Amino acid sequence: MELMLAIGYLGLALVLGSLVAKIAEKLKIPDIPLLLLLGLSIGPFLHIIPSESAMDIFEYAGPIGLIFILLGGAFTMRISLLRRVIKTVIRLDTITFLITLLVSGFVFNLVLNLPYNSPVGYLFGAIISATDPATLIPVFSRVKTNPEIAITLEAESIFNDPLGIVSTSVVLGLFGLSSSSNPAIDLITLAGGAIVVGLLMAKIYKKIILSCNFHEYVAPLVLGGAMLLLYLGDDLLPKTLGYGFSGYMAVAIMGLYLGDSLFRADDIDYKYIVSFCDDLSLLARVFIFVFLGACIKLSMLENYFLVGLLVAFGSIFLARPIGVFIGLLGSKLSVKEKLYLALEGPRGVVPAALAVTVGIEILKNADKIPQYITKYISPIDIAGTIIIGTFMTILLSVVLEASWAGILALKLLGEYKPKKQE
């Protein structure tokens, strides 16, 4: 695709996306559904942006956008707040995440009449298990309810976003689309290595930033480090050593530690980074959701709409609730609080970026996918069902869960009455 044409498409997405987001703000509704529908409108419906061109752009916009979002989200999470809900968050990001992945995958395979152990379903489960509570934040600001529930949902997302990316990478190894040879070892190296390298990078950056006054130059310094982490973990080390680490998870760990350290040090550079990341995250959200919609072809909607609807309902109303209730067995949370967490797990930017990225990877490397997978479903159908299924899951979860979030908060949690010492 020509460079000027790509720039034109990106410019169109930004202009129209900004207008649509402003309309959503005026109407006090989430912007994600409108951005997805905008993508559908300028893509398959009006043919302004061809599907192939949208996918070409997404190959670059998707990974870079994920860096912006993971870094920005983790950078503003305070460790002191995280400690208040850490036990619940650990359960949600381990047991609940895994069960949501497995149940979503099982439902996917069941709907498509695939063997129950087909990795196709579990690839979908890995992609859509990460949550995005951004659409719920305006609700929590209006409704006076227990703030620890809001903190829990936000902290859960900070960690399950990179976990979703790691899980997707591991399952892709079963498709022959990564250097994976042993999923268990890969999971340990991807996650464990990311934690070690992310913390190391954060500590180095902390010393550099606190000893020098970078001011407006600190934001590109930190962003450049995050991009190098992704390159090192996902490309350079796997090619040279055979094993790497999750660059995305390392970015999140780096952002969490560095952001908390600079905040506690009351360093002026903290504000520069936050402002910079907020602006870039907004750009990334517009690009990812608009181009997800534009990537879809009408033939994909016609062929996979019903399948996408069924697997979306399975993920929202079956997988997530089962995962939450099993994951939080024996916790101090009440049944009503668990029910609220079960019904409030909207999917967002990470599943959107992963779905298209994985779809492109499958279509480009269809000949590498093992026959034990393709004898039941073709690579085109794998990519199509995953993209449409993810699209429907994001759309339905955001629309439904944002619409009932306030009502459920008052019905299940009641009005929050802080203790006197607070």
pLDDT tens digits, one per residue of 252-294: 999 999 999 999 998 888 999 999 988 988 899 899 999 999 9
Mean pLDDT lowest among 141-155, 276-290, 315-329, 389-403: 141-155
Percent of the chain with pLDDT over 90: 64
Give the span between the Cα atoms of 167 and 94, in whole angstroms.
Answer: 12
Q: Please report the pLDDT score of residue 257 as a whole number.
A: 95
Q: Where are the alpha helices (DSSP H) in 296-378?
A: 298-314, 320-327, 335-343, 349-364, 371-374
Question: In this structure, what DSSP letter does residue 344 have?
Answer: -
Angle at Cα 102 formed by Cα 114 and Cα 188, nearest 5°? 120
Question: pLDDT, tens digit, for every residue of 108-120?
Answer: 999 999 999 999 9
Residues in the chain: 422
Structure tokens at 144: 């006076």
Tokens, residue 227: 């991009």
pLDDT, residue 141, reads: 65
- pLDDT digit string, tens, across residues 233-250: 988 988 888 778 889 999
pLDDT of 325 over the 60 cut: yes
**pLDDT band of 158, cuts 50, 70, 90:** confident
- pTM value is 0.89
Distance, first Cα to last Cα, the chain: 58
Q: What is the pLDDT of residues 37-61, one digit of tens each?
A: 999 999 999 999 999 999 999 888 8
Q: What is the pLDDT of residue 240?
A: 87
Residue 71: its pLDDT value, please? 92
Give the number of other Cβ atoms within 10 Å of residue 193's Cβ.
19
Please check the confidence at residue 384 and state whether its pLDDT lies above 50: yes
* R_g over Cα of the chain: 21
pLDDT confidence tier of residue 422, bands split at 50, 70 and 90: very low
Residue 351 tokens, joined: 């599943």
Q: In the chain, what percentage of residues exceed pLDDT 70?
A: 94
Q: Is the pLDDT of residue 172 over 50?
A: yes
Task: Return the exposure string of 154-186: e unless at least 16 CB atoms fall within 10 Å of the residue's CB, then b.
Answer: bbbbbbbbbbbbbbbbbbbbbbebbebeeeeeb
- 417: its two tokens: 């009455």
Query: Contact 348/134 with Cβ under 8 angstroms?
Result: yes
Separation of alpha carbons 250 and 202, rounded Å: 10
Confidence of residue 179 (pLDDT cuts 50, 70, 90): low
SS3 122: helix
Please give the single-letter amino acid code of residue 68. F
DSSP per residue over 54-93, as a string? HHHHHHHHHHHHHHHHHHHHHHT--HHHHHHHHHHHHHII
Q: Does residue 128 surpass a pLDDT of 60?
A: yes
Maximum Cα–Cα distance across the chain = 65
Please tell me the predicted confidence (pLDDT) of residue 191.
Answer: 86
Tokens at residue 275, please? 């402002």
Q: What is the pLDDT of residue 421?
A: 47
pLDDT digits (tens, 9 = 90+) for 333-365: 999 999 999 999 999 889 999 999 999 999 999
298 touches 44 (CB < 8 A): yes
Query: How high does pLDDT run on average in the chain?
Result: 90
